[in-house]
Structure formats: structure tokens, C-alpha cells
Structure 1
Amino acid sequence: MAKLLDPRNEYFHAKVISRNDGAQRHQKSLDMLKSDESEPEGALAAVLSVLRRVHHLFFNVRSSQELAGQTGRRDVRQVLNTVRKDVLKGCRIVFSRVFPSKFPAESHPLWKMAVNLGATCATEPGTKKSRWALENDKFLVLPRWIDGANYLWQRLPEENFLVKSNEPKAEAKVKDSVV
């Protein structure tokens, strides 16, 4: 079925698991997936860490009173927003050549994602600012750095997402409090 739906292997990338892929005969199992997850650093470990933090904040009396605010009711959505805002807290991101020139940057999903993660965002045109960032020891990263932070709910090493000279020119300059 996967070959019919995705003949060029563009979408599934050979990651379809069938009953024949399991280690136990005549049983469906996901035991083949355990080898892909890095226990201390994988996506599941990141989610577990976030859930533990949310649980702690939600049931911590002082924090939950602060989060209850005027309504007097605790709401896990408020805790999740607080935890999410800490991901890029103190980070100033200047988008350069990421959005079309006439497009309102504040309404772009990448901008909104960065703001939801706690970053302060701005836009500046052209490569002059890119050269300035590199000359002043600021990180010049690909937009997927923000996607990764959103996916794992943690600030990722900027060094893993640096813009290289042969990369497309869409970039996000990470300024100020860079780890």
C-alpha cells in the first residue's frame, strides 16, 4: 500500500511498519521503534521532561495560585503557556529574508511560533545585517532552529543550525542572550 501511495518514497521514507516487521511472529508489535529513540535526548524524553515540569508547576501551591489569577481556577493551559514561553525567553531574533517583503511578518507562523516560545522578534532586510551578525559573534541560524525548539520544547544548540554559504538565504539572526 505504501508503494502505491508514495511510489517515490517522498512521504513515508520507509518508515511504515507492518505486522511482518515485528520481532514476534503472529503478533503486532512496535518493538522495532525502540531502537530509534535516544533515551536521554530523544523526542519522548523531551516530552517527559516538559510533562514533569508542567505537573510540578500545576500542583505547586504557590505557582498554581499565581497561574489561577483572577479566575481563581487552575488551568493546565496557563501552565503550558508559561513553560513554552521559557523555551526562548531572553532571546532576540531578527528575521532577515525569511518573509516576502510585503508580507506582515507578525502574522507569519514562524514569527508567532518564536513569540509563543518567549522570543522577542524583529525584521531587518538584506545581507548587511547578516554580515554584521557574523562579525559580532551573533548566531546566524536557519529558520528550522525555531521549529526544532518548538518541537522539543527546549532551546537547541545554535551551532547545529548555522547558515552556511551554500544554504538558501532565509535566515534568522539570534541576538543578545545567546548561550
Structure 2
Amino acid sequence: MGNTVYATEIAKVLDRTGSIFKGRVISKGDEGERLPKSKDLDVVLGMESAVVIIDDSVKVWSHHKNNLIIVERYTYFPYSRRRFGLHRPSLLEIDHDERPEDGSLASSLAAIEKIHQSFFSNRSLNEVDVRDIPVSEKENILKGCKVAFSRVFHVGLTNPHLHPLWQSAEQFGAICTYQIDDDVTHVVAVSLETDKVNWAMSTGRYVVNPGWLEASALLFRRANERDFSIMPPPPSS
């Protein structure tokens, strides 16, 4: 979506030796006519079945959702956060960038490498579709997790299984429920004052806020429950 000058300069920052992109950058104006604020694979040489998209927006890829891996929006400058209605301090203001070992970039790279390895492990590349690989990879991320929701959805919601959070959890391999039983591993809640949370605390289950599910989807791996716990901190000695 950036112009040619901007895209070229950013490519130099990301790939200083030119060994990755090798000048193959498609920027705004190269794609011909299209809908405003949309992107398309028509200008990419090759079959759609061999293309993986990494982006922070689903809306602009309305025709290629199966090729898409969503990543967290990167907002380093104060202006960027204000533009998207984010009110917390920017990374520049707190003088701290994402962690190189497990931040968004590192997690995205790990996801791409998994898909790349899986794709090229096939003997016949004409018969493999890269769009099927992220689906199987997603299903393993929260496999073995049974999630019970507590006061996450609006009271009176008749079809919670249609809520994006519920659907995302299932896409990433979790089993979702409203009821608690011995198989429940996580209670996703926004308040400590519920029977489900009390049950989880007394039985040693994870109690996390909805951000845990969102982070697992964005990072393409099971997020650390401790980072999203709604349990009160231990009393200081």
C-alpha cells in the first residue's frame, strides 16, 4: 500500500544485502485498478496455491483469506497508535521494542518456516496447496485445551459459538464450552467474581483473560498463560 520510494527503502532496511527480495517489490501503483484499501494477488507471479500472505488486516485481503496469516499491528511511533485509536504509550515513548526472541516478527518467521518446510516436503509441488497448511498448523496450537468462557460474552447472546473469539479458539484447536467439567483446562474470564473462576482456582486450572486466545492466534503459538492471568498477585512480604 506504500509508494515505490517508501517500499524500496523499507526493503533495504529489512534486507540489507538484497539477497531475499532481490528487487522484487510490488508497491502502490503497480497493481493497476482495484478497490480502495484492498490488496490482490493478481500482480504476484505464481499460483495462489503457493502464496502465503502476512498482514495485520483481514479486510484488505477479502478475496484471499485462506492465504492469510494475521499478525499483530506494529505501532512504534506515537502517531501510529493515535491513528488506530490506541491510547497507551508507543514503543518509542517507552524506549522498548518487541522482544527479538519471541515478539511478533520472530513468531511470524517461525510460522513461515513451518509452512515453508511443510510445503516443500511434498514430492509433487503441483499437487500441494499452501492454503491447507496453515489450517493444519493452527489446529495444533491449542490442541488439548478445553476452554470454558465466563462473562466474556454479552448476557443474552444466543449463539456464543458464532462469536469471533469462540471461533478463533476452535480454529486453533481448542474445544470450547460454557459449562465446566473435569476436562476443562482453561477458564477465560474478565472478572474474578464468578463460580467458574472460583472452581478453576480451587482445582488448579488456568484462569486467563481473552487476550490469551488473541495472542495465541497472533503469535501462531500457544501464548504463556502467566502473561494473561487475571489472578491477583501474591502479597508482598
Please report the TM-score for the alignment, with normalisation by the length of structure 2. 0.51
Alpha-carbon distance, 1:74 to partner? 1.4
Structure holding more helix per residue? 1
1:128 match: 195
Alpha-carbon distance, 1:55 to partner? 0.7
Q: Which runs of 5+ in 1 are unaligned?
A: 18-32, 66-71, 167-179
Match 1:48 to one of 79, 89, 109: 109
Work out whether residues 168 and 217 of structure 2, in 8 Å CA contact, stay in contact via their aligned partners in 1.
yes
Alpha-carbon distance, 1:163 to partner? 1.3
The 5 Å alignment of 1:100-115 reads 100-103=154-157, 104-115=159-170
1:21 match: none
Q: Which runs of 5+ in 2 are unaligned?
A: 1-77, 181-192
Letter in 2 for 1:80: P
Work out whether residues 93 and 119 of structure 1, in 8 Å CA contact, stay in contact via their aligned partners in 2.
yes
1:91-135 CA deviation, whole Å, 9 max, x = no partner? 110011111232111010100110111100001398222211110
The residue matched to 2:141 in structure 1 has which SS? coil
2:138 match: 84
Question: Partners in 1 of 2:211 and 2:205 — Cα distance?
Answer: 17
Alpha-carbon distance, 1:48 to partner? 0.5
The 5 Å alignment of 1:116-155 reads 116-124=171-179, 127-155=194-222
Q: Which fold has the larger relative contact order, with Cα–Cα distance below 8 Å and residues 6 or more apart in sequence?
A: 1
Question: Partners in 2 of 1:95 and 1:157 — Cα distance?
Answer: 18
Please report the TM-score for the alignment, with normalisation by the length of structure 1. 0.66
The residue matched to 1:56 in structure 2 has which SS? helix
Q: 1:52 to 1:16 in 2, by over 3 A?
A: closer
Letter in 2 for 1:47: S
The residue matched to 2:127 in structure 1 has which SS? coil
Work out whether residues 166 and 176 of structure 2, in 8 Å CA contact, stay in contact via their aligned partners in 1.
yes
Work out whether residues 96 and 124 of structure 1, in 8 Å CA contact, stay in contact via their aligned partners in 2.
no
Question: Partners in 1 of 2:119 and 2:228 — Cα distance?
Answer: 33
Percent identity among equivalent residues? 30
Alpha-carbon distance, 1:150 to partner? 0.7
CA RMSD of aligned residues (A): 3.4
1:99 match: 153
Alpha-carbon distance, 1:38 to partner? 2.4
The residue matched to 1:93 in structure 2 has which SS? strand
The residue matched to 1:94 in structure 2 has which SS? strand
The residue matched to 1:121 in structure 2 has which SS? strand
Work out whether residues 86 and 117 of structure 1, in 8 Å CA contact, stay in contact via their aligned partners in 2.
yes
Q: 1:58 to 1:13 in 2, by over 3 A?
A: same
Question: Partners in 2 of 1:74 and 1:42 — Cα distance?
Answer: 30
1:164 match: 231
Q: 1:13 to 1:94 in 2, by over 3 A?
A: closer
Alpha-carbon distance, 1:37 to partner? 3.6
